[in-house]
Structure 1
Protein backbone atom coordinates (compact mmCIF):
# COMPACT_ATOMS: atom_id res chain seq x y z
CA UNK A 1 0.00 0.00 0.00
CA UNK A 2 1.36 3.43 -0.89
CA UNK A 3 1.62 6.29 1.61
CA UNK A 4 -1.11 8.14 -0.28
CA UNK A 5 -3.49 5.17 -0.03
CA UNK A 6 -2.68 4.68 3.65
CA UNK A 7 -3.29 8.36 4.37
CA UNK A 8 -6.64 8.20 2.53
CA UNK A 9 -7.71 5.18 4.62
CA UNK A 10 -6.73 6.94 7.88
CA UNK A 11 -8.55 10.10 6.80
CA UNK A 12 -11.69 8.10 6.01
CA UNK A 13 -11.48 6.34 9.37
CA UNK A 14 -10.88 9.37 11.58
CA UNK A 15 -11.66 12.42 9.45
CA UNK A 16 -15.33 12.67 10.36
CA UNK A 17 -14.82 12.46 14.13
CA UNK A 18 -15.79 15.78 15.71
CA UNK A 19 -14.87 14.92 19.27
CA UNK A 20 -12.04 16.39 21.33
CA UNK A 21 -11.01 12.93 22.42
CA UNK A 22 -10.95 9.69 20.49
CA UNK A 23 -8.75 6.65 20.18
CA UNK A 24 -6.45 6.09 17.23
CA UNK A 25 -4.76 2.79 16.47
CA UNK A 26 -1.04 2.72 17.26
CA UNK A 27 -0.25 1.67 13.68
CA UNK A 28 -2.12 4.68 12.29
CA UNK A 29 -0.56 7.04 14.82
CA UNK A 30 2.94 5.76 14.01
CA UNK A 31 2.31 6.24 10.29
CA UNK A 32 1.14 9.83 10.82
CA UNK A 33 4.15 10.64 13.03
CA UNK A 34 6.55 9.29 10.41
CA UNK A 35 4.81 11.37 7.72
CA UNK A 36 5.11 14.48 9.91
CA UNK A 37 8.82 13.79 10.38
CA UNK A 38 9.35 13.34 6.64
CA UNK A 39 7.46 16.58 5.99
CA UNK A 40 9.79 18.44 8.36
CA UNK A 41 12.84 17.03 6.55
CA UNK A 42 11.42 18.08 3.18
CA UNK A 43 10.73 21.59 4.48
CA UNK A 44 14.32 21.91 5.71
CA UNK A 45 15.64 20.61 2.39
CA UNK A 46 13.42 23.04 0.51
CA UNK A 47 14.74 25.95 2.61
CA UNK A 48 18.37 25.07 1.77
CA UNK A 49 17.57 24.89 -1.94
CA UNK A 50 15.67 28.18 -1.78
CA UNK A 51 18.59 29.99 -0.17
CA UNK A 52 21.00 28.70 -2.82
CA UNK A 53 18.61 29.66 -5.62
CA UNK A 54 18.11 33.14 -4.18
CA UNK A 55 21.87 33.72 -4.33
CA UNK A 56 22.04 32.72 -8.00
CA UNK A 57 18.85 34.61 -8.85
CA UNK A 58 20.09 37.89 -7.32
CA UNK A 59 21.10 40.13 -10.23
CA UNK A 60 23.56 42.00 -7.99
CA UNK A 61 25.69 38.86 -7.79
CA UNK A 62 26.35 39.13 -11.53
CA UNK A 63 27.51 42.76 -11.46
CA UNK A 64 31.16 43.76 -11.33
CA UNK A 65 32.66 46.61 -9.34
CA UNK A 66 35.30 47.82 -11.80
CA UNK A 67 36.10 50.97 -9.84
CA UNK A 68 36.93 49.60 -6.37
CA UNK A 69 38.53 46.30 -7.34
CA UNK A 70 41.88 45.66 -8.94
CA UNK A 71 40.62 42.50 -10.62
CA UNK A 72 36.83 42.67 -10.92
CA UNK A 73 35.18 39.40 -9.95
CA UNK A 74 31.49 38.62 -10.04
CA UNK A 75 30.25 37.05 -6.78
CA UNK A 76 28.70 34.21 -8.76
CA UNK A 77 32.00 33.47 -10.49
CA UNK A 78 33.85 33.68 -7.19
CA UNK A 79 31.35 31.26 -5.63
CA UNK A 80 31.92 28.80 -8.49
CA UNK A 81 28.81 26.82 -7.58
CA UNK A 82 29.84 26.28 -3.95
CA UNK A 83 26.46 27.32 -2.51
CA UNK A 84 24.65 24.87 -4.79
CA UNK A 85 27.04 22.04 -3.95
CA UNK A 86 26.69 22.79 -0.23
CA UNK A 87 22.88 22.73 -0.43
CA UNK A 88 22.98 19.40 -2.24
CA UNK A 89 25.66 17.98 0.03
CA UNK A 90 23.66 18.84 3.15
CA UNK A 91 21.08 16.28 2.02
CA UNK A 92 23.61 13.52 2.60
CA UNK A 93 24.72 14.92 5.95
CA UNK A 94 21.29 15.53 7.51
CA UNK A 95 21.07 13.62 10.74
CA UNK A 96 18.12 11.30 10.41
CA UNK A 97 17.54 9.96 13.89
CA UNK A 98 15.88 6.64 14.41
CA UNK A 99 12.15 7.22 14.18
CA UNK A 100 11.48 4.92 17.10
CA UNK A 101 13.84 6.94 19.32
CA UNK A 102 13.09 10.49 18.23
CA UNK A 103 9.42 10.47 17.24
CA UNK A 104 7.65 7.56 18.82
CA UNK A 105 7.18 7.35 22.58
CA UNK A 106 9.39 4.96 24.55
CA UNK A 107 8.35 1.34 24.38
CA UNK A 108 6.01 1.76 21.41
Structure 2
Protein backbone atom coordinates (compact mmCIF):
# COMPACT_ATOMS: atom_id res chain seq x y z
CA UNK A 1 0.00 0.00 0.00
CA UNK A 2 1.20 3.48 -0.83
CA UNK A 3 2.37 5.13 2.43
CA UNK A 4 0.33 8.23 1.60
CA UNK A 5 -2.84 6.17 1.37
CA UNK A 6 -1.95 4.34 4.59
CA UNK A 7 -1.36 7.64 6.36
CA UNK A 8 -4.67 8.97 5.06
CA UNK A 9 -6.53 5.93 6.39
CA UNK A 10 -4.81 6.26 9.75
CA UNK A 11 -5.74 9.95 9.85
CA UNK A 12 -9.37 9.10 9.11
CA UNK A 13 -9.35 6.55 11.91
CA UNK A 14 -7.94 9.17 14.27
CA UNK A 15 -10.49 11.74 13.09
CA UNK A 16 -13.37 9.41 13.89
CA UNK A 17 -11.80 8.63 17.26
CA UNK A 18 -11.62 12.33 18.10
CA UNK A 19 -15.00 13.33 16.70
CA UNK A 20 -17.00 10.60 18.45
CA UNK A 21 -16.42 11.83 22.01
CA UNK A 22 -17.65 15.31 21.09
CA UNK A 23 -21.13 15.72 22.42
CA UNK A 24 -24.22 16.43 20.34
CA UNK A 25 -23.30 20.13 20.01
CA UNK A 26 -20.44 19.33 17.60
CA UNK A 27 -21.19 22.11 15.17
CA UNK A 28 -20.96 24.79 17.82
CA UNK A 29 -17.77 23.36 19.26
CA UNK A 30 -16.10 23.08 15.85
CA UNK A 31 -16.57 26.84 15.40
CA UNK A 32 -14.24 27.64 18.30
CA UNK A 33 -11.61 29.83 16.57
CA UNK A 34 -8.92 29.31 19.21
CA UNK A 35 -9.15 25.53 19.01
CA UNK A 36 -9.26 25.65 15.21
CA UNK A 37 -6.18 27.86 15.07
CA UNK A 38 -4.33 25.60 17.49
CA UNK A 39 -5.17 22.49 15.45
CA UNK A 40 -4.30 24.00 12.08
CA UNK A 41 -1.11 25.56 13.42
CA UNK A 42 0.03 22.31 15.01
CA UNK A 43 -0.63 20.32 11.82
CA UNK A 44 1.29 22.85 9.73
CA UNK A 45 4.18 22.83 12.21
CA UNK A 46 4.39 19.04 12.10
CA UNK A 47 4.34 19.01 8.30
CA UNK A 48 6.98 21.75 8.23
CA UNK A 49 9.19 19.62 10.50
CA UNK A 50 8.81 16.67 8.13
CA UNK A 51 9.80 18.89 5.21
CA UNK A 52 12.74 20.34 7.14
CA UNK A 53 14.20 17.00 8.36
CA UNK A 54 12.69 14.34 6.09
CA UNK A 55 15.38 11.67 6.42
CA UNK A 56 15.39 11.66 10.20
CA UNK A 57 11.63 11.91 10.75
CA UNK A 58 10.50 9.64 7.92
CA UNK A 59 12.85 6.87 9.00
CA UNK A 60 11.08 6.86 12.36
CA UNK A 61 7.57 7.35 10.92
CA UNK A 62 7.91 4.42 8.49
CA UNK A 63 8.08 1.94 11.36
CA UNK A 64 4.67 0.24 11.59
CA UNK A 65 4.68 0.44 15.37
CA UNK A 66 5.16 4.21 15.18
CA UNK A 67 2.55 5.16 12.57
CA UNK A 68 -0.13 2.73 13.76
CA UNK A 69 0.71 3.40 17.38
CA UNK A 70 0.41 7.15 16.81
CA UNK A 71 -3.05 6.81 15.31
CA UNK A 72 -4.16 4.60 18.18
CA UNK A 73 -2.65 7.03 20.69
CA UNK A 74 -4.68 9.88 19.17
CA UNK A 75 -7.87 7.80 19.39
CA UNK A 76 -7.15 6.79 22.98
CA UNK A 77 -6.21 10.37 23.84
CA UNK A 78 -9.54 11.49 22.40
CA UNK A 79 -11.38 9.02 24.57
CA UNK A 80 -9.49 10.20 27.66
CA UNK A 81 -9.96 13.90 26.82
CA UNK A 82 -13.76 13.79 26.73
CA UNK A 83 -13.89 16.51 29.37
CA UNK A 84 -11.59 18.75 27.35
CA UNK A 85 -13.63 19.45 24.21
CA UNK A 86 -11.27 22.23 23.06
CA UNK A 87 -8.47 19.64 22.81
CA UNK A 88 -10.71 17.35 20.81
CA UNK A 89 -11.71 20.18 18.48
CA UNK A 90 -8.06 21.21 18.00
CA UNK A 91 -7.26 17.60 17.13
CA UNK A 92 -10.13 17.44 14.65
CA UNK A 93 -8.97 20.64 12.95
CA UNK A 94 -5.39 19.38 12.88
CA UNK A 95 -6.36 16.13 11.23
CA UNK A 96 -8.64 17.93 8.76
CA UNK A 97 -5.71 20.17 7.86
CA UNK A 98 -3.47 17.16 7.33
CA UNK A 99 -6.10 15.43 5.18
CA UNK A 100 -6.47 18.58 3.09
CA UNK A 101 -2.72 18.76 2.52
CA UNK A 102 -2.60 15.05 1.70
CA UNK A 103 -5.50 15.34 -0.75
CA UNK A 104 -3.74 18.21 -2.49
CA UNK A 105 -0.51 16.21 -2.68
CA UNK A 106 -2.27 13.12 -4.07
CA UNK A 107 -4.21 15.16 -6.60
CA UNK A 108 -1.04 16.90 -7.72
CA UNK A 109 0.67 13.51 -8.15
CA UNK A 110 -2.23 12.19 -10.24
CA UNK A 111 -2.11 15.26 -12.46
CA UNK A 112 1.62 14.73 -13.03
CA UNK A 113 1.01 11.04 -13.86
CA UNK A 114 -1.59 11.94 -16.48
CA UNK A 115 0.80 14.15 -18.47
TM-score by length of 1: 0.33
Structure possessing the higher radius of gyration over alpha carbons: 1
Higher helix content, 1 or 2: 2
TM-score by length of 2: 0.32
Q: Which structure carries more relative contact order (alpha carbon 8 Å, separation 6+)?
A: 2
